[in-house]
């Protein structure tokens, strides 16, 4: 099955819509969770993990690129921004997840590191892997909103650029690590 960027973008749009809601919703009703669960069901029907793996990788590419843009805007390194994210999550009482490690692994010049991290995580706890994909989508959606709030890039422009980035990634044409919406400043 050729890699398709559509599920990644569906997850980002669903995550962004969910983040804009005022009232909390049950996890099963969350549109982002539904996107991930559809991919999981399709993979289960095929006896594989390809859709979930591609969804995780594509969403991680988006989240990682957005992290770089926000770090550049703050004039700090990506590692510093991820450290701030981890500290803020801990201050809010959130449990540690694999997302910060994955964001850093995605910035490495060795894409196999991120694939290995995802593979290990997937093998250790399937439900936590699904939660990670949803978390990546939510984080990316928050970053998209921040870029709009900071007047760096409108939401639709950022989503369009992310769609192109994911298409290039899946086509094996890795864009430069710092080329994203933030380069329009």
DSSP assignment letter at 173 = -
Distance CA(37)–CA(111), nearest Å, equals 26
Digit-by-digit pLDDT tens for the chain (185 residues) are 456 778 899 999 988 877 666 545 556 678 899 999 999 999 999 998 889 989 998 999 999 999 999 999 999 999 999 999 889 888 888 787 888 888 888 887 666 788 888 888 888 888 889 999 999 999 999 999 999 999 999 999 999 999 999 999 888 865 544 444 444 33
- Virtual torsion, Cα 128, 125, 100, 147, nearest 10 deg: -30
Asked whether 115 and 57 are in contact (CB, 8 A), the reply is yes
Contact 53/126 with Cβ under 8 angstroms? no
For 55-92, the pLDDT digits (tens) are: 998 999 999 999 999 999 999 999 999 999 889 888 88
52-56, Cβ contacts within 8 angstroms, sequence gap of 24 or more: 52/122, 52/129, 52/130, 52/133, 53/118, 53/122, 54/3, 54/4, 54/7, 54/8, 54/170, 55/7, 55/8, 55/11, 55/133, 56/118, 56/122, 56/129, 56/132, 56/133, 56/136
d(CA 178, CA 129): 27
Predicted structure pTM score? 0.84
Separation CA 98–CA 75 (nearest Å): 25
Cα distance between residue 128 and residue 50, in whole Å:
17
């Amino acid at each position: 099955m050729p890699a398709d960027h559509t599920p990644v973008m569906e997850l980002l749009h669903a995550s962004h819509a969910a983040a804009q809601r005022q009232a909390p919703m049950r996890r099963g009703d969350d549109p982002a969770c539904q996107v991930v669960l559809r991919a999981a069901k399709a993979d289960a029907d095929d006896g594989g993990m390809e859709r979930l793996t591609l969804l995780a990788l594509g969403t991680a590419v988006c989240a990682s690129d957005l992290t770089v843009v926000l770090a550049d805007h703050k004039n700090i390194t990506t590692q510093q921004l991820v450290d701030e994210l981890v500290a803020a999550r801990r201050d809010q009482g959130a449990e540690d997840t694999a997302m910060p490690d994955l964001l850093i692994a995605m910035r490495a010049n060795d894409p196999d590191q991120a694939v290995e991290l995802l593979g290990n995580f997937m093998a250790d706890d399937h439900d936590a892997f699904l939660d990670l994909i949803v978390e990546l989508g939510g984080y990316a959606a928050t970053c998209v909103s921040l870029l709009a709030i900071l007047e760096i890039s409108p939401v639709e422009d950022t989503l369009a650029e992310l769609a192109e980035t994911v298409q290039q990634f899946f086509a094996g044409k890795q864009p430069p690590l710092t080329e994203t919406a933030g380069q329009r400043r």
